Amino acid sequence: MKIKSVPLIVILLFITFFIIFFKGLKNSNIYVPNINYEKEIPSFTTQFFDTNIKINSDEIFKEDYYYLMNIWSSWCLPCREEHRFLMELSKEKNLKIIGFNYKDNIKDAKQFLNNLKNPYSNIFLDKDGLIAIEWGAYGVPESFLIYNKKIIKKVIGPLNTNFVDEIKRLIK
């Protein structure tokens, strides 16, 4: 009796594990972050892009105004792709685009802007990437729509026509 029950137990265990793993394969484990939320902007100190003058975040973002904070680098290919959308948004009267140059060589970043034009009202440095981490950025490019010192929209990856249209609707 004992000898006959061992193969039966092994087969039942095999079937049980197979069912568990099969159901696990059907379960999507893709993480999609919540990108539509209202969150206070982090406080930080940084310096202007082309000077050593330091500035605090409270001096950058004012109340009752829309800002699009864009994290970018000259070495980032998707940043080149999204640049035309930033140029389009820079024409909006009630939106200021703030650039954060992320872990970049200043000379290369200036050349990038000379070639593609500058859509930013101000550009600040994030030499070591710590400011981007405080904002919850995953990489470059990333953009944050800000109103009343709150993040109201986060765009992970390059801007596209859909995001530009949505941003225009939100700032009207």
Nearest by Cα to 72 from 131, 32, 18, 30: 131
Instruction: Please say if the pLDDT value at position 97 is more than 50.
Output: yes
Q: What is the pLDDT of residue 26?
A: 65
CATH topology of domain 39-171: Glutaredoxin (3.40.30)
pLDDT digits (tens, 9 = 90+) for 107-120: 999 999 999 999 99
pLDDT digits (tens, 9 = 90+) for 3-43: 677 778 888 888 887 788 777 776 655 444 444 557 888 98
Beta strands in the chain (DSSP E): 39-40, 45-47, 54-56, 66-72, 95-102, 122-126, 142-147, 150-156
Q: What is the pLDDT of residue 39?
A: 83
The stretch 127-133 carries a mean pLDDT of: 92
pLDDT digits (tens, 9 = 90+) for 132-166: 999 999 889 999 999 999 999 999 999 999 999 99
**Phi, psi angles (nearest 5°) of residue 103:** 45, 55
Is residue 172 very low, low, confident or very high in pLDDT (cuts 50, 70, 90)?
Answer: confident
pTM: 0.76
C-alpha to C-alpha distance for 132 and 41, rounded to whole angstroms: 12
C-alpha to C-alpha distance for 112 and 117, rounded to whole angstroms: 8
C-alpha to C-alpha distance for 103 and 112, rounded to whole angstroms: 14
Instruction: Please say if the pLDDT value at position 106 is more than 70.
Output: yes
pLDDT digits (tens, 9 = 90+) for 40-85: 889 899 999 988 899 998 899 988 899 999 999 999 999 999 999 9
Q: What is the pLDDT of residue 17?
A: 78
Cis check for the bond before 141: say yes or no (omega within 30 of 0).
yes
Q: What is the pLDDT of residue 31?
A: 45
